[in-house]
């Protein structure tokens, strides 16, 4: 009886362990129930400036740390491309520049969910995932840094 009890406990522990290891930590950008809020084509149709509200890492440039940052879609160009204007306040002056923005699809997304542009010259062009947008007042984009897991 004692041996059977130990065997049952052992089996329960093994089953419990295998259930824990079978769980995946799915990222929000890979979860199909979020896809409706991750359509970059809808996002780029929004007019006006999109201001950076919060960042999870510090940015420093040769001119200092930006105190205000924005992105603005200027126009659509042939193909799945747009003219993107990025601007920032560095110290007491404003700076801005235009570049080409590409929209791309990742994984099993039905529509483009990645914004491909250069955030910092040192990092070069990168894909930045649209995690969420209500297509009105709030959008969350995961801005990647080159060779880093910080975003």
Tokens read off for 138: 């709030």
Judge if pTM exceeds 0.85.
Answer: no
pLDDT digits (tens, 9 = 90+) for 70-89: 999 999 999 889 999 999 99
pLDDT digits (tens, 9 = 90+) for 2-27: 444 444 455 455 655 545 555 567 88
Pairing of strands 114-118, 93-104: antiparallel
Helix (H) or strand (E) holding 144, with range, is: none
Q: In the chain, how long is the greatest CA-to-CA distance?
A: 80
DSSP secondary-structure letter at 138? -
Torsion of CA 115, 118, 124, 126, to 10 degrees: -10
Average pLDDT (136-140) is: 91
Tokens read off for 16: 């419990």
More reliable by pLDDT, 151 or 105 = 105
Domain residue spans in the chain? 30-142
Burial tier of 101 (Cβ tally within 10 Å: 0-12, 13-18, 19+): buried
| The pLDDT of residue 58 is above 90 | no
Residue recorded with tokens 């004692």: 2
SS3 content of the chain, % helix, strand, coil (to 5): 25, 40, 40
* Whether 112 contacts 40, CB under 8 Å: yes
Nearest to 36 by CA among 107, 110, 104: 110
Residue recorded with tokens 């235009």: 98
| The pLDDT of residue 62 is above 50 | yes
Query: Hey, which CATH number is domain 30-142, 1.10.10.350, 2.60.40.10, 2.40.128.20, 2.40.170.20?
Result: 2.40.128.20
């Amino acid at each position: 009886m004692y041996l059977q009890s130990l065997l049952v406990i052992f089996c329960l522990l093994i089953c419990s362990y295998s259930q824990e290891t079978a769980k995946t930590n799915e990222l929000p950008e890979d979860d199909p129930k979020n896809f409706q809020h991750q359509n970059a084509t809808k996002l780029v149709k929004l007019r006006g400036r999109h201001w950076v509200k919060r960042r999870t890492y510090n940015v420093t440039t040769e001119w200092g740390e930006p105190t205000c940052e924005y992105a603005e879609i200027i126009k659509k160009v042939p193909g799945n491309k747009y003219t993107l204007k990025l601007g920032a306040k560095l110290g007491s002056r404003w700076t801005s520049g235009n570049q080409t923005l590409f929209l791309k699809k990742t994984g099993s997304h039905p529509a483009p969910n990645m914004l491909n542009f250069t955030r910092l010259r040192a990092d070069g062009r990168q894909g930045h995932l649209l995690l969420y947008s209500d297509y009105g007042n709030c959008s969350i984009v995961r801005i990647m840094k080159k060779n880093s897991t910080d975003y």
